[in-house]
């Protein structure tokens, strides 16, 4: 998809004025946050399991070249094919070649963020293939021709009335007077419509939550069962996965799975966790005849060994965005590319460039909730700071910001000047604010004051108060307040 991360500020502004989006996002604060907290509280080992998950991924990333080789050997030893794809173009071409080689017409798809990253649907359509999303949320946004707004709940920005109207527009063969008020009716209709698509499809494409080096296995985790129908009914199963999905063994995958669903939806375990190893065996009654893995780099190898390596531990649970006050305010589309929220603010500049996505790491209050809930203990705020530094070094920040920071640096390096100017500023602002204690307008701060008042300082700086307290404390017999 065409990134619109450059216009984050406009996107965010529009989102903030969208009443319907506000209601949809409010819903999520109650849902995901409370459910995750409950699931974490029910498992006393949860935090220790997070440490362990982090360590498993760190070990794997440190030895990623070896694990990739071992994984690929194993896939090929059970009759699968690995397509090593350095770039998104390579991956798109590999998928289309496989589809064309079997004369495919329709392609069903399980939910895959890598497929979103590749803009695979557009590419399949451009090559005469018909892609059909089967995850309910993905199906809805495909009908609306929209990108997902959340990595595990792609249609979280919509309400049921919007979905009903999309279904009426798309499913014109069904009776016009049918009832579509209740979620169950919408789910039932999607189930019936998609059922035939699974059976008609020539190729099924899924993503992968993990790849296991020990066995050459790909894992998908779903609640709907759509991924399983997608990969068991057609003749060909294509897995699109990026290189950092590797884990060493079945035990390591199981250990990380223990923190995935709990962090994502607050379930103890997702409904379906499916381990796929190669194509159907000669005596299997069902399953695909071909099994292909598209192994995508697309910028990830560059992150290894850099200050962004920790981001490669991410298991795409969505906990960071579920807990992010900025995401809660603007939703996922404002971020302008595939990955929203704090993980997107770190990953997007890595994959499409900080010149393209520099706004995203700035869209954070550094409140730290994302890092506090991340099951893989990724230091997201620290990495956003790295991007801000790079943005500054590359002269990408606006002139006003650069001049302001330059002036601040000059003053901050001179302690007496710093104390003098901050003391002066505090007294002046306090004087202007008067008894009200708030300022409606401040020069150079319209970004703040056009939306709300600025609370004024009370007149004395911390350093003043500290010095005064020290003086008082040195006089015995006097109260030290």
Partner 1 sequence: MTNGRTTVLGAVRRSLGRSDADSDAAMAAAKARIAAHPRGLLPERSRCDPIAQLDLFQAQVEAVDATVVRLSALAEVPQAVADYLKSHNLPGDLRMAPAAELQALPWTTAAPMLTVTTGKAEPQDVSSLTAAFAGIAETGTLMLHSGPEGPTTLNFLPENHIVVLKSSQVVGAYEEAWERLREARADEGLPRTVNLVTGPSRTGDIEQTIQLGAHGPKRLHILLIEDAG
CB 56 to partner 1: min, Å: 8
**Please, which of residues 289-318 interact with partner 1 by CB under 8 A?**
295, 297, 301-306
Show the 3-state SS of the chain.
CCCCHHHHHHHHHHHHCCHHHHHHHHHHHHHHHHHHHHHHHHCCCHHHHHHHHHHHHHHHHHCHHHHHHHHHHHHHHCCCEEEEECCHHHHHHHHHHHHHHCCCCEEEECCCHHHHHCCHHHHHHHCCCEEEECCHHHHHHHHHCCCCCCCCCCCCCCCHHHHHHHHHHHCCCCCCCCCCCCHHHHHHHHHHHHHHHHHHCCEEEECCCEEECCCCEEEEEECCCHHHHHHHCCCEEEEEEEHHHEECCHHHHHHHHHHHHHHHCCCCCCCEEEEECCCCCCCCCCCCCEEEEEEECCCHHHHCCCCCHHHHHCCCCCHHHHCCHHHHHHCCHHHCCCCCHHHHHHHHHHHHCHHHHCCHHHCCCCCCHHHHHCCCCCCHHHHHHHHHHHHHHCCCCCHHHHHHHHHHHHHHCCHHHHHHHHHHHHHHHHHHHHHHCEECCCCCCHHHHCCCCEECCCCCCHHHHHHHHHHHHHCCCCCCC
Nearer to partner 1, 185 or 449 (CB): 185
Among 248, 318, 340, 349, binds partner 1 (CB under 8 A): 248
Q: Does 268 bind partner 1 (CB under 8 A)?
A: yes
Q: Does 276 bind partner 1 (CB under 8 A)?
A: yes
Among 4, 7, 14, 52, binds partner 1 (CB under 8 A): 52
**Please, which of residues 16-45 interact with partner 1 by CB under 8 A?**
24, 27-28, 31-32, 43-45
Q: Does 179 bind partner 1 (CB under 8 A)?
A: no
Among 20, 34, 101, 275, binds partner 1 (CB under 8 A): 275
**Please, which of residues 65-104 interact with partner 1 by CB under 8 A?**
65-70, 72, 78, 82-86, 90
CB 405 to partner 1: min, Å: 31
Among 13, 100, 125, 269, binds partner 1 (CB under 8 A): 269
Q: Does 63 bind partner 1 (CB under 8 A)?
A: yes
Among 99, 205, 239, 243, binds partner 1 (CB under 8 A): 243
CB 123 to partner 1: min, Å: 18
Among 19, 173, 177, 283, binds partner 1 (CB under 8 A): 283
Among 19, 177, 284, 479, binds partner 1 (CB under 8 A): 284
Among 9, 13, 160, 438, binds partner 1 (CB under 8 A): 160
Among 117, 224, 310, 391, binds partner 1 (CB under 8 A): 224
**Please, which of residues 422-441 interact with partner 1 by CB under 8 A?**
none
**Please, which of residues 111-150 interact with partner 1 by CB under 8 A?**
134-137, 140
Nearer to partner 1, 5 or 142 (CB): 142
Nearer to partner 1, 194 or 324 (CB): 194
């Amino acid at each position: 998809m065409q990134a619109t991360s450059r216009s984050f500020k406009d996107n965010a502004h529009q989102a903030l004025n969208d009443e319907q989006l506000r209601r949809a996002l409010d819903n999520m604060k109650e849902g995901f946050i409370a459910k995750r907290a409950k699931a974490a509280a029910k498992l006393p080992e949860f935090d220790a399991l997070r440490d362990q998950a982090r360590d498993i991924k760190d070990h794997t990333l440190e030895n990623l070249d070896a694990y990739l080789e071992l994984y690929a050997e194993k896939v090929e030893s059970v009759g699968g094919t690995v397509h090593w794809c350095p770039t998104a173009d390579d991956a798109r071409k590999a998928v289309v070649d496989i589809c064309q080689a079997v004369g495919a017409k329709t392609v069903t798809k399980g939910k895959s963020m890598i497929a979103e990253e590749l803009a695979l649907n557009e590419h399949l359509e451009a090559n005469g293939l018909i892609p059909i999303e089967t995850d309910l949320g993905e199906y809805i946004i495909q009908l609306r021709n929209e990108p997902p707004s959340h990595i595990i709940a792609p249609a979280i920005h919509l309400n049921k009335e919007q979905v009903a109207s999309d279904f009426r527009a798309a499913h014109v063969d069904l009776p016009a007077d049918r009832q579509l008020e209740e979620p169950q009716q919408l789910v039932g209709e999607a189930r019936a419509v998609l059922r035939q698509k699974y059976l008609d499809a020539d190729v099924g494409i899924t993503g992968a939550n993990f790849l296991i080096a020990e066995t050459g296995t790909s894992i998908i985790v779903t609640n709907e069962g759509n991924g399983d129908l997608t990969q068991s009914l057609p003749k060909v199963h294509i897995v699109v996965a990026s290189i950092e999905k590797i884990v060493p063994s079945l035990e390591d995958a199981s250990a990380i799975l223990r923190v995935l669903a709990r962090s994502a939806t607050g379930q103890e375990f997702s409904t379906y966790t499916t381990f796929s190893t190669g194509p159907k065996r000669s005596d299997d009654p069902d399953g695909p005849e071909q099994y292909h893995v598209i192994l995508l780099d697309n910028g990830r190898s560059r992150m290894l060994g850099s200050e962004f390596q920790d981001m490669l531990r991410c298991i795409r649970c969505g906990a960071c965005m579920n807990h992010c006050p900025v995401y809660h305010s603007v939703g996922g589309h404002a971020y302008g590319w595939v990955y929203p929220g704090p993980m997107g603010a770190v990953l997007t500049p890595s994959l499409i460039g900080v010149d393209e996505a520099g706004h995203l790491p700035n869209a954070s209050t550094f409140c730290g909730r994302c890092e506090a809930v991340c099951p893989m203990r990724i230091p997201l705020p620290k990495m956003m700071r790295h991007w801000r530094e790079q943005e500054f070094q590359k002269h990408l920040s606006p002139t006003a910001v650069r001049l302001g920071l330059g002036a601040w640096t000059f003053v901050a390096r001179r302690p007496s000047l710093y104390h003098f100017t901050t003391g002066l500023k505090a007294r002046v602002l306090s004087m202007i604010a008067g008894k009200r204690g708030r300022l409606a307008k401040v020069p150079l701060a319209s970004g703040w004051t056009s939306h709300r008042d600025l609370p004024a300082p009370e007149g004395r700086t911390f350093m003043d108060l500290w010095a005064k307290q020290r003086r008082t404390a040195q006089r015995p017999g006097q109260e030290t307040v």
